[in-house]
Structures are given as structure tokens and as C-alpha cells.
């Protein structure tokens, strides 16, 4: 089989409105296009910066890589024009896979990497992926309360509309073809698609600034980081997050590292990001908060929260989320007593200070 066409699609939306008037090349016989698919990663979607501004000394031998692609096989679901699933195949990343479909029918393809615990649902108009709620409330008083959700798995997807619109219909007869005894004609075309991310890796970096030398630095550990108001699901056709929100609780928080003027800890988060906006406008008014709990050497536990919506808006493809609070604010805040009653948590002001990165 010779290659007839090798197309690399950089912008799928460019083809979504294309209209074609097919001329008859069938001679009354069935005609197929044997599309040889190659799936690759979209390098431009992996643009998160995990170096600039990272104060924590992340030991990859102990904690693992901050981010990696880690995909070897993808699923390809083929839909007809009515968005009914007509076939499904597996494709090894970077390897060719033949897909034989009837010409000139239009097809849509959704390609995504295989996952272990992500839930998928399809209602004929939307193909959703979701992390699922854990059936419990967060152990923290956020301004707006949502249920606790799982972290995302690393997810990548691409959706091709109207498959034949990526091929030049006027040249299809010039492609390599084979003719069966019954007159069936098969043309051979090549298509290469790019997977883009729909879930993103963040490093949540907590800095405790030693702002007052008269006040001792008593924090010994960060025991809890919670992120409230992040998306629970995403729609895979449009790569658009749903409106349902949840709280992701991070318990794998790396130990504090102490420097001359501050202490810093860190944890890793995988999320779809912020939910899609409703009809009303929003920005910082959307309640996305980071909740923190610190243990102190004097036996007390301190809790506080800061706004985080703007940070996620500024870094939609992942990266470093830095929260800096003053040690004096932690020291002076009310002690948290875990006596089974609801308690208020302090609304800490985030402190911005100069550190040579």
C-alpha cells in the first residue's frame, strides 16, 4: 500500500464548517476510504512551566516526575452524522491503524487515551468524562460547600468532525486504490491527528513568610490542602468543562523545607480546572478557594483559606500555583479545636513579597 496523503491537522475547527458537493465516483458500486490513522501528541498543549517560580526542591527520585505524557494506546470512537457510535478501534500512539469507512458518508471521530477510573457518559449530543464524587463533604469550611471529588487522571483527546472534509474530494480519484471482483473500490488516504490535554497538572506551592522576627516560626507541617470550586466533569467533543463543582483534597503534601526567610511545602494536583461559566459573568467572584491546615510545635492546629480563582484563570494549562501567607497571620489566628463542632476558618490575605527565584 502506498501513501496517498499525509495530513497533519493543527486546527480542527478550521474544517468544521466545510461543505462539499461530491461527484459520483462509485459507478454504482460500494466505495470505501481506507483511512490510515496516526495519532500524535500536540506539543503546543504541553506548555505548562514547572520551573519558573518553583521554590520547593522537588526530588523526582523520591516524589516522581512532576509531569509526563505517559500515553501508549488511544481509543477511537467513530460516529455517523446522527452521532450514533458505529465502530470503535484501538490505536497505538504513533503507529498506523487502518480505518475502513464508506464513502461519501460523513463520520465523526473522538479519540482519547485509555484511563482506569474516569467515568464516561454519552447522551447523543455530548460525550462527558467525569471524576466522580466520593460521597462525603470536605473536612473544611469553605465559603461555598461542595462534595469531595477525585483527582483527574491524565486525559488527552481530539475530535474530528465530518471526516471526509479533511480530504480534497476533487483529488480523491488520484489516491492509491484497489478494486475487488464485485466492483467495490477502496481508496487509501492518510490522516494524522493531534491529542490535546483536557486535564492539567498543577504544583500547589505554599510559602510561609517569616515576616516578623519577634514571632517564632512554629509551623512544623502542612497537613491539608483543599481546592474548592474546581470542575467535576468535562465535555470531550468541545473540550469544555461542565458547570458542576467539587472539592479536591490533597493529603500527599511534601515536607516543609526551611529557608532563611520562609518555609515552603508542595503538593501535586491533576484537575480539569475551573468549571464553565454560567450565563452570568464571573471572575474572582467565582468561589474557588485553597484551604490550608498547619500543625504547630506548641500543639495547636491553624486553618485558613485564600482565593484561588485568578490563579487558575491565569494558568489554564497547568503550572505552579503559589500561595504565600505571613507567619504572623498564622500565629495570631484563632486555634482550631477539633471537637466535632463546625468551626470558622481564618480568611488569610495572601502576601506578595520579593524572592529571588
pLDDT of residue 353: 56
Q: How would residue 217 be classed by pLDDT, with cut points 50, 70 and 90?
A: very high
H/E segment holding residue 270:
strand 262-271
Q: What is the mean pLDDT of residues 240-247?
A: 94
pLDDT of residue 7: 26
User: Whole-number mean pLDDT of the chain?
Assistant: 79
Domain ranges of the chain: 7-45+69-139+155-197, 200-347
| pLDDT 10s digits, 110-124 | 989 888 899 999 988
Q: How would residue 52 be classed by pLDDT, with cut points 50, 70 and 90?
A: confident
pLDDT of residue 193: 78
Residue 49 to residue 317: CA distance in whole angstroms: 9
Dihedral sign of CA atoms 200, 291, 306, 262 in order: negative
Share in percent of the chain as helix, strand, coil (round to 5): 10, 40, 50
Q: What is the mean pLDDT of residues 275-281?
A: 69
| Closest residue by Cα to residue 245 from 290, 266, 276, 270 | 276
Which has more pLDDT, 252 or 352?
252
pLDDT of residue 228: 96
CA 9 to chain centroid, in Å, comes to 21
SS3 356: coil
pLDDT of residue 42: 66
Q: Which long-range contacts (CB under 8 A, 24 or more apart) does 84-93 make?
A: 84/124, 85/122, 90/114, 91/37, 91/39, 93/39, 93/40, 93/41
Residue 73 to residue 107: CA distance in whole angstroms: 22
| Alpha helix ranges (H) inside 20-120 | 60-63
Residue 96 to residue 189: CA distance in whole angstroms: 12
Residue 175 to residue 34: CA distance in whole angstroms: 11
Q: What is the mean pLDDT of residues 261-273?
A: 95
Dihedral sign of CA atoms 335, 338, 339, 344 in order: positive
229 pLDDT exceeds 90? yes
CA–CA distances in Å: residue 238 to residues 21, 54, 86, 135, 322? 26, 32, 20, 28, 30
pLDDT of residue 342: 43
Amino acid at each position: 500500500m502506498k501513501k496517498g496523503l499525509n495530513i497533519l491537522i493543527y486546527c480542527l475547527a478550521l474544517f468544521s464548517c466545510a461543505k462539499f458537493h461530491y461527484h459520483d465516483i462509485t459507478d454504482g458500486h460500494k466505495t470505501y476510504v481506507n483511512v490510515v490513522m496516526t495519532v500524535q501528541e500536540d506539543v503546543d498543549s504541553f506548555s505548562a512551566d514547572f520551573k519558573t517560580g518553583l521554590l520547593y526542591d522537588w526530588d523526582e527520585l523520591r516524589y516522581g516526575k512532576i509531569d509526563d505524557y505517559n500515553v501508549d494506546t488511544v481509543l477511537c470512537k467513530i460516529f455517523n452524522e446522527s452521532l450514533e457510535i458505529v465502530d470503535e478501534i484501538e490505536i497505538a500512539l504513533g503507529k498506523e491503524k487502518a480505518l475502513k469507512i464508506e464513502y461519501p458518508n460523513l463520520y465523526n471521530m473522538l479519540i482519547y487515551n485509555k484511563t482506569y477510573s474516569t467515568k464516561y457518559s454519552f447522551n447523543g449530543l455530548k460525550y462527558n468524562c467525569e471524576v466522580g464524587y466520593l460521597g462525603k463533604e470536605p473536612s473544611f469550611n469553605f465559603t461555598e460547600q461542595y462534595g469531595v471529588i477525585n483527582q483527574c487522571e491524565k486525559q488527552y483527546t481530539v475530535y474530528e468532525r465530518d471526516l471526509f472534509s479533511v480530504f480534497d474530494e476533487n483529488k480523491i480519484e488520484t489516491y492509491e486504490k484497489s478494486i475487488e471482483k464485485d466492483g467495490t473500490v477502496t481508496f487509501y488516504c492518510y490522516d494524522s491527528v493531534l491529542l490535546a490535554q483536557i486535564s492539567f497538572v498543577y504544583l500547589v506551592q505554599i510559602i510561609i513568610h517569616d515576616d516578623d522576627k519577634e514571632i517564632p516560626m512554629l509551623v512544623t507541617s502542612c497537613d491539608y490542602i483543599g481546592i474548592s470550586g474546581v470542575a467535576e466533569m468535562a465535555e470531550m467533543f468541545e473540550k469544555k468543562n461542565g458547570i458542576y463543582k467539587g472539592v479536591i483534597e490533597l493529603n500527599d503534601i511534601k515536607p516543609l523545607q526551611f529557608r532563611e526567610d520562609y518555609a515552603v511545602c508542595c503538593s501535586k494536583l491533576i484537575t480539569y480546572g475551573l468549571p464553565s461559566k454560567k450565563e452570568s459573568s464571573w471572575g474572582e467572584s467565582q468561589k474557588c478557594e485553597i484551604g490550608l491546615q498547619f500543625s504547630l510545635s506548641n500543639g495547636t492546629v491553624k486553618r485558613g483559606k485564600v482565593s484561588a480563582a485568578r490563579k487558575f484563570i491565569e494558568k489554564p494549562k497547568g503550572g505552579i500555583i503559589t500561595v504565600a501567607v505571613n507567619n504572623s497571620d498564622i500565629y495570631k489566628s484563632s486555634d482550631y479545636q477539633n471537637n466535632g463542632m463546625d468551626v470558622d476558618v481564618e480568611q488569610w490575605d495572601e502576601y506578595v513579597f520579593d524572592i529571588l527565584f
